């Protein structure tokens, strides 16, 4: 029996609606009179930049936050949920953009946390494990229900988050950036599940910064900008240009490779590097690569190609089983992470929430954390020098914040990512590694990130960034390296086509 919900037939009627919904946080307006419908058995996609109000609207629909004014209509009647539990009891579930899993618990326990299957003698762990296994099979993931979440890669953790929401048998399922950490194959499986849910009458509210990807499943599109709804239309009336124009205007260029200067000497040399996984298999298989000062190199590959493992090993987070890492000719293979940062080698990790930020610290403390040695005097830090560094970093990477004392959680995803990048740029690196630098951020924030990369490259910084979005390869990179099964399968210049890149990675081209 399928683990996914059985629901009423699809008829396309409005099952839930927002009417003149507004939300204020103090004097800050997050939403301003938003109106839209969620149709039974169809996908309503919300598009908008970070800070446009999408996640706030979703939290209102899911009962996490109340609206300041306006109302939510469910089945023709106004509702005002006092909690997410109350909304879930009415059939509304949400998959959050940032994972909310307990890493020290098993997949089974995460899926049934707070709603365990109980019998007269206690929790029925066997039934929970059976249903978890069925969900994993439905999502085409070979994950043991008893595996600890912390032992899963990020994409698998995202699958567990999705499975938990599916297990509730919701009739309205809100998906906030569900594919941000998924491979192309996993995205295809999720879309198959979404189509199956639609056929059962389940309504989907979908948020994604992957615009072309989202268009594959969209039935209705709603665009938000600065808390206002700027446009809405059925799928038959929209295309990519329509979405971007209503999101950010006509200028949405991600940039081009910076020109007008010559590259310097070799800044980073990766020589015959091997990285293995727990099974002993090579995830990076005798790979060599050189990057010169001022050069921007993009590493493209599907999930499992070895991109993350390579960058983490170069930065000192992973163990080298063979080979060397040379920074301006100096072997740093045996250096610690801190020693590599001090020598000029920095990494912006893929998972900003887990590895890039300290959630209990302010924006300023996060920005200054990696370069704390620059303002230490004896046994004390210099608050003035730290403030100067923080203010300069906020200005350089254009973080939209009330100031260095603001909570890091108050920032949008794009601005949090700029804090992580700013933190590493504050160490004055010679080589900057960025693992999926645009994951989970909107097209406007992407353009700003790539502008930062190009600007620093002109000043002599050597940059390597990895991506699983082929379109991002064709932005600021001077050279594109395609990885497959831990090896370089192709190398291209900036004039390569998307089709050539995808073919080299083993990926089929989707029209």
- Report the SS3 class of residue 330: strand
CB 42 within 8 A of CB 64: no
Task: State how far the alpha carbon of 305 is from the alpha carbons of 86, 288, 301, in Å.
Answer: 43, 15, 6
pLDDT given for residue 463 in this prediction: 96
All residues at 6 or more sequence positions from 245 whose CB lies less than 8 Å from its CB, including other chains: none
CATH fold of 14-248? Rossmann fold (3.40.50)
pLDDT in tens, 299-314: 998 767 889 999 999 9
Element (H, E) at 169: none
CB 307 within 8 A of CB 435: yes
Helix pair angle (443-458, 240-248), 10° resolution: 80
Phi, psi angles (nearest 5°) of residue 408:
-65, -30
All residues at 6 or more sequence positions from 445 whose CB lies less than 8 Å from its CB, including other chains: 49, 50, 412, 413, 414, 415, 417, 418, 438
Q: Is the pLDDT of residue 71 over 50?
A: yes
Residues of the chain with CATH 3.40.50.300: 14-248, 294-316+338-505
Pairing of strands 43-47, 203-207: parallel
Give the C-alpha separation, 425 to 460, whole Å: 13
Q: Is the pLDDT of residue 322 over 60?
A: yes
Ordered DSSP codes for 72-112: EEETTEEE--SSHHHHHHTTEEEE-SS----TTSBHHHHHT
Give the C-alpha separation, 87 to 82, whole Å: 8
Instruction: Calculate the average pLDDT of the chain.
Output: 86
Give the C-alpha separation, 265 to 217, whole Å: 47
- pLDDT > 70: percent of the chain: 93
Torsion of CA 182, 187, 189, 190, to 10 degrees: 90
Mean pLDDT over 440-466 rounds to 87
All residues at 6 or more sequence positions from 485 whose CB lies less than 8 Å from its CB, including other chains: 285, 305, 306
Q: Is the pLDDT of residue 287 over 90?
A: yes
pLDDT given for residue 48 in this prediction: 82
Mean pLDDT over 58-80 rounds to 92
pTM (2 decimals)?
Answer: 0.60
pLDDT given for residue 7 in this prediction: 41
- For residue 246, give the nearest of 224, 268, 272 by alpha carbon: 224
CB 391 within 8 A of CB 383: no
Residue 340's pLDDT band, with cuts at 50, 70 and 90, is: very high
Number of residues that this document lists for the chain: 511
Which of residues 497 and 37 earns the better pLDDT score?
37
pLDDT in tens, 225-251: 888 899 999 999 998 888 878 876 655
pLDDT in tens, 1-14: 345 444 444 456 89
**In 10 A of CB 252, how many CB atoms?**
17
pLDDT given for residue 332 in this prediction: 96
CATH number of 294-316+338-505: 3.40.50.300
Ordered DSSP codes for 213-244: HHHTT-SEEEEEETTEEEEEEEGGG--HHHHH
- Report the SS3 class of residue 45: strand
Q: Is the pLDDT of residue 158 over 90?
A: no
pLDDT in tens, 411-426: 877 788 888 888 888 8
Give the C-alpha separation, 140 to 153, whole Å: 16
């Amino acid at each position: 029996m399928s683990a996914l919900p059985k629901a009423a037939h699809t008829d396309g009627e409005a099952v839930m609606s927002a009417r003149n919904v507004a939300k204020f946080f103090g004097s800050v307006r997050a939403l301003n009179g938003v109106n839209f419908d969620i149709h039974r058995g169809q996908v309503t996609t919300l598009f908008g930049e970070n800070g446009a109000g999408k996640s706030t609207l979703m939290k209102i629909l899911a009962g996490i936050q109340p609206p300041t004014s306006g109302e939510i209509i469910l089945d023709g009647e106004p509702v005002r949920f006092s909690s997410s539990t109350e909304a879930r009891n009415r059939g509304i579930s949400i998959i959050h953009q940032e994972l909310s899993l307990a890493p020290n618990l098993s997949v089974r326990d995460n899926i049934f946390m707070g709603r365990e299957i109980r019998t007269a003698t206690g929790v029925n762990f066997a039934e929970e494990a059976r249903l978890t296994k069925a969900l994993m099979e439905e999502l085409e993931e070979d994950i043991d229900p008893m595996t600890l979440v912390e032992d899963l890669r990020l994409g698998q953790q995202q699958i567990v988050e999705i499975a938990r929401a599916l297990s509730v048998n919701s009739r309205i399922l809100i998906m906030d950036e569900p594919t941000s950490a998924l491979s192309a194959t996993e995205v295809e499986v999720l879309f198959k599940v979404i189509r199956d849910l639609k056929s059962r009458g389940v309504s989907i509210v979908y948020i994604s910064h992957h615009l072309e990807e989202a268009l594959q499943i969209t039935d209705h599109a709603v665009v938000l900008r600065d808390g206002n709804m700027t446009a809405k239309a059925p799928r038959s009336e929209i295309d990519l240009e329509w979405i971007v124009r209503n999101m950010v205007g006509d200028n949405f260029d991600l940039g081009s490779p910076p020109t007008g200067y010559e590259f310097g000497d070799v800044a980073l040399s990766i020589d015959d590097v091997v990285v293995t996984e727990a099974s002993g298999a090579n995830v990076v298989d005798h790979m060599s690569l050189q990057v010169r000062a001022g050069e921007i190199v993009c590493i493209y590959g599907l999930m499992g190609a070895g991109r993350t493992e390579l960058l983490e090993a170069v930065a000192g987070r992973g163990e080298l089983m063979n080979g060397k890492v040379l920074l301006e000719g100096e072997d740093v293979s045996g250096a610690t992470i801190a020693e590599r940062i001090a020598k000029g080698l920095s990494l912006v990790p893929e998972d900003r929430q887990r590895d890039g930020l300290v959630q209990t610290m302010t924006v300023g403390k996060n920005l200054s954390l990696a370069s704390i040695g620059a303002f230490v005097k004896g046994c004390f830090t210099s608050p003035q020098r730290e403030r100067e560094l923080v203010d300069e970093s906020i200005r350089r990477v254009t973080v939209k914040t009330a100031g260095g004392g603001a909570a890091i959680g108050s920032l949008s995803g794009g601005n949090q990512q700029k804090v992580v990048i700013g933190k590493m740029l504050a160490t004055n690196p010679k080589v900057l590694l960025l693992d999926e630098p645009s994951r989970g951020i909107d097209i406007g924030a992407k353009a700003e990130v790539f502008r930062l990369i190009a600007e620093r490259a002109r000043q002599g910084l050597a940059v390597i960034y990895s991506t699983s979005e082929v379109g991002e390869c064709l932005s600021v990179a001077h050279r594109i390296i395609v990885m497959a099964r831990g090896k370089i399968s192709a190398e291209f210049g900036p004039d390569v086509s998307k089709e050539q890149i995808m073919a080299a990675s083993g990926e089929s081209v989707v029209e």
